[in-house]
């Protein structure tokens, strides 16, 4: 299937580290972008999409989420982090069964596709539910089973790691799917367990992702137990690596930032989740200044409560200006990079997705520019961060295949998905 986006405005790299818009044809041959601003020789389109009044962007990349948590949307609000996690979320997670995970993940994929996200790094706790949902929906994903373990639960930790490795083996080579190992957090994994997971990551050549320095409680706990900051603790057990993605990183000292920059980790910053759970504001400007690759995540819908990356981009752009009293911080250009190429780098998908460039996977989103709140068209990259809300998404394509168009999901039975997730909520008793 070849697609021609005819004379469309596209956001492309400007060759100097930023982005610019160009107007021209964009061609997709099979799974790949085959022409940007030109039609390659011999290209014959099966479908032509008129680009008039549209903007083409690379699919957005959600670098930290828990997709199955759509089932908990608006179930545990207005609670502080510790009460939220230990009082509400962890107890009800014990009641989830395969079908709950599977349908809630599909609902999450519907939301992502409808708001322009084509790829996510998902920390989940099911086995095979997320890969099945991902394969059927056709969205791109990096999946990881959250791992907790230590001396107080040696068998549980071993079992979870074994199940994660078995799941990875089962789905080896599956289209659009890759995996990481995901030790859950410094406060749910002891040093022995973290070393073991890091050794398993070495052996299987897998990247890792982990929650880090999310709350002040975490800082206190880790300082009391190990006499270190959470990043120092992870570094002492070999978890801070070039291919590790650290989510949140709200509370970092200057030396923590320097350590993480030196180790080359990526950070997935989740501004809305951090605000909603009262955890604070990550110092993204300091991370960017130190040269850390920063990506953007929404976290799960129990703490956001959406998977809408366009909304998240808006918060990312606005938050740091207010927090630091400096309107020049975290520009629209920087935010756009974090939501696209920065996410791809964090997820090990650099050169695969995250840019409109010939040879990359055709993970593309068409936005309708004919909205009153987007007029006039002065700076469309600024518009993405400051004016859009996600409702402008008209078409979402992953690997050259249209998965969402004008309200229709082409690979997901939307009606059944919603019905099944509502049925899960009835069973779990999450309604107020």
| Calpha distance 430→432 (Å, rounded) | 7
Q: How many CB atoms lie within 10 A of CB 21?
A: 16
In the bound state with Zn ion, the residue whose beta carbon lies nearer, of 93 and 299, is: 299
Window contacting Zn ion (CB under 5 A); options: 92-100, 169-177, 293-301, 408-416: 293-301
In the bound state with Zn ion, the residue whose beta carbon lies nearer, of 111 and 299, is: 299
Estimate to the nearest angstrom the gap between the alpha carbon of 362 and the chain centroid: 18
Position closest to Zn ion via CB: 299
| Calpha distance 305→289 (Å, rounded) | 30
In the bound state with Zn ion, the residue whose beta carbon lies nearer, of 69 and 374, is: 69
Estimate to the nearest angstrom the gap between the alpha carbon of 365 and the chain centroid: 16
Considering only residues 328 through 367, tell me which ones interact with Zn ion, judged by CB under 5 A: none
Residue 376 Cβ vs Zn ion, minimum distance, rounded to whole Å: 39
Nearest to 343 by CA among 333, 334, 354: 354
| Calpha distance 27→296 (Å, rounded) | 28
Considering only residues 148 through 187, tell me which ones interact with Zn ion, judged by CB under 5 A: none
Residue 62 Cβ vs Zn ion, minimum distance, rounded to whole Å: 11
Residue 337 Cβ vs Zn ion, minimum distance, rounded to whole Å: 22
Window contacting Zn ion (CB under 5 A); options: 18-26, 35-43, 164-172, 295-303: 295-303
Q: What radius of gyration do the chain's Cα atoms show? A: 21
Window contacting Zn ion (CB under 5 A); options: 55-63, 294-302, 324-332, 352-360: 294-302
Nearest to 102 by CA among 347, 394, 413: 413
Considering only residues 187 through 216, tell me which ones interact with Zn ion, judged by CB under 5 A: none
In the bound state with Zn ion, the residue whose beta carbon lies nearer, of 299 and 334, is: 299
Residue 299 Cβ vs Zn ion, minimum distance, rounded to whole Å: 5
Residue 211 Cβ vs Zn ion, minimum distance, rounded to whole Å: 5
In the bound state with Zn ion, the residue whose beta carbon lies nearer, of 122 and 196, is: 122
Q: Which one of residues 25, 167, 243, 299 is an interface residue with Zn ion (CB under 5 A)?
A: 299
Window contacting Zn ion (CB under 5 A); options: 159-167, 238-246, 299-307, 418-426: 299-307
Q: Left, alpha or beta for 82 (phi > 0: left; psi -120 to 50: alpha)? A: alpha
In the bound state with Zn ion, the residue whose beta carbon lies nearer, of 188 and 411, is: 188
Residue 65 Cβ vs Zn ion, minimum distance, rounded to whole Å: 7
In the bound state with Zn ion, the residue whose beta carbon lies nearer, of 121 and 349, is: 121
| DSSP, residue by residue, 81-131 | HHIIIIIIIHHHHTT--HHHHHHHHHHHHHHHHHTTEEEEEEEE--SSHHH
In the bound state with Zn ion, the residue whose beta carbon lies nearer, of 100 and 299, is: 299
In the bound state with Zn ion, the residue whose beta carbon lies nearer, of 212 and 403, is: 212
The three-state secondary structure class of 11 is strand
What are the tokens at 229? 């900051």
Residue 328 Cβ vs Zn ion, minimum distance, rounded to whole Å: 30
Number of helices followed by number of strands (H, E) in the chain = 16, 18
Window contacting Zn ion (CB under 5 A); options: 77-85, 296-304, 362-370, 396-404: 296-304
Number of residues that bind Zn ion (CB under 5 A): 1
DSSP for residue 413: -
In the bound state with Zn ion, the residue whose beta carbon lies nearer, of 275 and 418, is: 275
| Calpha distance 245→178 (Å, rounded) | 14
414 phi and psi angles, rounded to 5 deg: -65, -40
Residue 424 Cβ vs Zn ion, minimum distance, rounded to whole Å: 20
| Calpha distance 369→376 (Å, rounded) | 10
CB distance 6 to 25 below 8 Å: yes
| DSSP, residue by residue, 141-161 | EEEEEEE-B-TTSHHHHHHHH
Residue 184 Cβ vs Zn ion, minimum distance, rounded to whole Å: 9
Window contacting Zn ion (CB under 5 A); options: 45-53, 83-91, 297-305, 333-341: 297-305
Question: Cα dist. 221→101, 239, 410 in Å?
Answer: 31, 18, 47
Residue 120 Cβ vs Zn ion, minimum distance, rounded to whole Å: 12
In the bound state with Zn ion, the residue whose beta carbon lies nearer, of 36 and 272, is: 272
Spell out the residues 6+ positions from residue 216 whose beta carbon is closer than 8 angstroms to its own: 251, 279, 280
Residue 78 Cβ vs Zn ion, minimum distance, rounded to whole Å: 18
Binding map of Zn ion across residues 92-131, x = CB under 5 A, - = no contact:
----------------------------------------
Q: Which residues would be at the binding site for Zn ion (CB under 5 A)?
A: 299
């Amino acid at each position: 299937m070849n697609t021609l986006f005819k004379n469309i405005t596209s956001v492309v790299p400007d060759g100097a580290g930023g982005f610019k818009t160009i107007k021209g044809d964009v061609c997709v041959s099979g799974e790949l972008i085959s022409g940007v601003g030109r039609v390659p020789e011999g290209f014959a389109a099966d479908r032509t999409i008129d680009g008039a009044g549209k903007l083409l962007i690379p699919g957005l990349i959600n670098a930290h989420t828990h997709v199955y948590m759509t089932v908990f949307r608006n179930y545990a609000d207005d609670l502080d982090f510790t009460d939220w996690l230990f009082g509400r979320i962890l107890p009800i997670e014990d009641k989830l069964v395969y079908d709950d995970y599977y349908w809630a993940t599909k609902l999450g994929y519907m939301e992502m596709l409808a708001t322009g996200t084509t790829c996510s790094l998902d920390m989940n706790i099911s086995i095979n539910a997320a890969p099945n949902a991902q394969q059927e929906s056709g969205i791109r994903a990096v999946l990881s089973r959250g791992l907790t373990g230590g001396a107080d639960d040696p068998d549980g930790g071993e079992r979870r790691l074994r199940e994660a490795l078995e799941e990875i083996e089962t789905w080896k080579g599956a289209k659009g799917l890759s995996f990481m190992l995901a030790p859950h957090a410094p406060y749910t994994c002891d040093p022995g367990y973290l070393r073991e997971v890091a050794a398993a990551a070495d052996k299987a050549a897998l990247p890792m992702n982990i929650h880090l320095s999310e709350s002040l409680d975490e800082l206190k706990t880790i300082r009391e137990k190990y006499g270190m900051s959470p990043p120092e603790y992870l570094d002492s057990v070999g978890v801070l690596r070039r291919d590790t993605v650290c989510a949140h990183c709200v509370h970092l000292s200057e030396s923590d930032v320097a350590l993480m920059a030196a180790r080359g980790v990526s950070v997935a910053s989740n501004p809305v989740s951090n605000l909603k759970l009262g955890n604070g504001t990550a110092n993204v400007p300091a991370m960017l200044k130190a040269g850390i690759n920063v990506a953007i995540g929404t976290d799960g819908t129990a703490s956001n409560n959406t998977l809408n990356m366009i909304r998240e981009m808006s918060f990312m752009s606005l938050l740091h200006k207010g927090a630091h009293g400096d309107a020049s911080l975290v520009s629209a250009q920087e935010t756009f990079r974090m939501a696209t190429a920065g996410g791809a780098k964090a997820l090990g998908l650099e050169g695969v997705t995250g840019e409109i460039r010939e040879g990359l996977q055709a993970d593309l989103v068409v936005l309708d520019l004919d909205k009153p709140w987007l007029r006039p068209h002065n700076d469309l990259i600024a518009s993405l961060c400051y004016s859009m809300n996600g409702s402008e998404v008209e078409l979402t394509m992953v690997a050259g295949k249209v998965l969402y168009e004008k309200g229709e999901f082409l690979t997901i039975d939307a009606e059944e998905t919603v019905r099944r997730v509502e049925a899960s909520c009835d069973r779990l008793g999450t309604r107020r």
